[in-house]
Chain A
Amino acid sequence: MLEFVVRGLLLGSVLGILALPMGLLFTTVRTIDFAVGAYALLAAAVAAAVPGLPGLAAGLLCAVGAAGVMGSLYLLLRRFGCEDAIVPALMSFGLAVAIASLVLLIWGTQPFLREGFSTFLSIAGLRISPQGLVDLAIELGIVATLQAVLHRTDLGRMMRATAANPAGAALAAIPVEALQFATFAAGGLLAGVAGLLIMYSSGLDFTAPLGLTLSGFGASIIFGIGSPLRAMLGGFAMGTAEALGAGYSSGMVAGMVPFAFVLIVLATTRFGEHGLAGDRL
Chain B
Amino acid sequence: MTTVLAMNGPAVPAGEDRSAGVTKPAEFAVVCEQHFDRLWRQLRAMGVLDCYLDDATQEVFLIAHAKWASFEGRAQLSTWLYAIAYRVGANYRRKLRRHAADELNEAAHPAAFGDPEQSLQDKRAAALVQTFCDGLSEKLRDVFVLALLEEQPASEVAQILGVPENTVYSRVRIVREAFRRVLAESDLT
Binding between chains A and B: no
